[in-house]
């Protein structure tokens, strides 16, 4: 087995660099497919946003100090899911006033029915986020592409809602499924969910500074490899930060996640 590697996204070996909070706002897109759950990566981003640490890295004497308010907006999971998952990384959410969870999974369809109602919902979310006093804020949104299939909202309208939140944060990560079944648009009907989802992902990438993709092995899952994580520059360049473009192999077991260079 190859040597275990640390997770870093930039050439300065950082995950979320300090410059993001001062002069280099970050827009990141994470795509994943069936069989490659992004939860482990999302959890590490949450940890790094909150504390500047990363539980799977080799750094000695990682001392956790509050770094930024971290807002997770989920269309896929509830608070209990994250509480249980992050506890495995040594993070107790009940004791953390800098972690904010916005549940859009449990009662979603009581809140939305039209693009207008979605706009009102995001206005409420924006007001809530503005109320968090720390000027350092990182937002993670997962599963928002679900709205393209479940409602009549257009790609542009949905991106406008994301931009509404992006203005309130130093960095934002949009985590979205890119399953083949969701993005194969054999016909150019702009109202088809497949067309809208593909259009959404393409437009997201064109707005991103950094793009991460989780994929299974082309040959199928190996005994000691779960999938690949590809890190690449987005279309929008940073002014001074440089993305460390690379591809990892990753392996998830009950205890931890291990990364290896491909």
Q: How does pLDDT run across 49-60, given as a tens digit for each residue? A: 999 999 999 876
| 215 pLDDT above the threshold of 90 | yes
When pLDDT is averaged across residues 100-113 and rounded to a whole number, the result is 87
Q: ∠ CA 213-104-126 to the nearest 5 degrees?
A: 90
When pLDDT is averaged across residues 16-34 and rounded to a whole number, the result is 96
136-156 pLDDT per residue, tens: 999 999 999 999 988 999 999
* Spatial distance between the Cα atoms of 79 and 105, rounded to a whole number of angstroms: 10
- Residue 236 has what DSSP assignment? S
Name the nearest CA neighbour of 210 among 49, 29, 32, 45. 29
Which pLDDT score, from 0 to 100, does residue 95 have?
Answer: 82
Give percent of the chain with pLDDT exceeding 90.
75
Q: What is the mean pLDDT of the chain?
A: 91
Are 24 and 45 in contact by the 8 Å Cβ rule? The answer is no
Tokens 């001392």 belong to 63
Which pLDDT score, from 0 to 100, does residue 76 have?
Answer: 95
Beta bridge partners of 10: 243
Q: Are strands 227-233 and 210-215 parallel, antiparallel or unpaired?
A: antiparallel
Give percent of the chain with pLDDT exceeding 70.
95
Look at 151-155, 156-160, 165-169 and tell me which has the smallest mean pLDDT: 151-155
Which pLDDT score, from 0 to 100, does residue 182 have?
Answer: 60
Give the pair of three-digit tokens for residue 78.
């509830």
pLDDT band at 185 (very low <50, low <70, confident <90, very high): low
Give the pair of three-digit tokens for residue 232.
């690449």
pLDDT band at 115 (very low <50, low <70, confident <90, very high): confident
When pLDDT is averaged across residues 213-225 and rounded to a whole number, the result is 83
When pLDDT is averaged across residues 27-32 and rounded to a whole number, the result is 98
Are 101 and 168 in contact by the 8 Å Cβ rule? The answer is no
pLDDT band at 113 (very low <50, low <70, confident <90, very high): confident
pLDDT band at 114 (very low <50, low <70, confident <90, very high): confident
Report which listed range, 59-73, 153-167, 221-235, is most confident. 153-167
30-81 pLDDT per residue, tens: 999 988 999 999 999 999 999 999 999 987 667 788 899 999 999 999 999 9
pLDDT band at 162 (very low <50, low <70, confident <90, very high): very high
pLDDT band at 249 (very low <50, low <70, confident <90, very high): very high
**Domain residue spans in the chain?**
18-261
Angle formed by the axes of helices 79-87 and 39-51, nearest 10°: 80
In three-state secondary structure terms, 115 is helix
Beta bridge partners of 140: 72, 173
Give the pair of three-digit tokens for residue 229.
């994580």
Which pLDDT score, from 0 to 100, does residue 188 have?
Answer: 64
Are 200 and 159 in contact by the 8 Å Cβ rule? The answer is yes
Give the pair of three-digit tokens for residue 45.
């981003």
Fold entry, domain 18-261: Rossmann fold (3.40.50)
């Amino acid at each position: 087995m190859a040597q275990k590697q640390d997770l870093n996204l930039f050439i300065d070996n950082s995950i979320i660099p300090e410059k993001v909070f001062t002069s280099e706002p970050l827009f990141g897109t994470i795509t994943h497919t069936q069989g490659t759950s992004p939860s482990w990566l999302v959890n590490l981003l949450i940890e790094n946003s909150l504390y500047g640490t990363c539980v799977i890295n080799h750094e000695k004497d990682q001392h956790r100090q509050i770094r930024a308010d971290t807002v997770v907006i989920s269309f896929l999971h509830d608070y209990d899911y994250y509480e249980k998952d992050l506890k495995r990384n040594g993070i107790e959410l009940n004791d953390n006033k800098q972690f904010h969870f916005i549940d859009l999974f449990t009662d979603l369809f009581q809140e939305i029915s039209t693009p207008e109602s979605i706009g009102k919902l995001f206005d409420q979310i924006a007001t809530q986020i503005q109320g968090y006093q720390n000027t350092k804020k990182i937002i993670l949104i997962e599963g928002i592409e679900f709205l393209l299939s479940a409602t009549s909202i257009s790609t542009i309208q949905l991106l406008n809602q994301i931009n509404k939140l992006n203005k309130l944060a130093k960095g934002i990560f949009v985590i979205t499924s890119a399953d083949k079944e969701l993005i194969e648009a054999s016909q150019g009907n702009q109202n088809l969910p497949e067309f809208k989802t593909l259009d959404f992902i393409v437009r997201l990438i064109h707005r991103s500074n950094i793009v991460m993709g989780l994929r299974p092995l082309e040959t199928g899952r190996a005994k000691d490899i779960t999938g690949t994580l590809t890190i690449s520059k987005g279309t929008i360049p940073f002014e001074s930060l440089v993305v460390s473009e690379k591809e990892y192999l990753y392996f998830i077991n009950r205890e931890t996640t291990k990364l290896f260079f491909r």
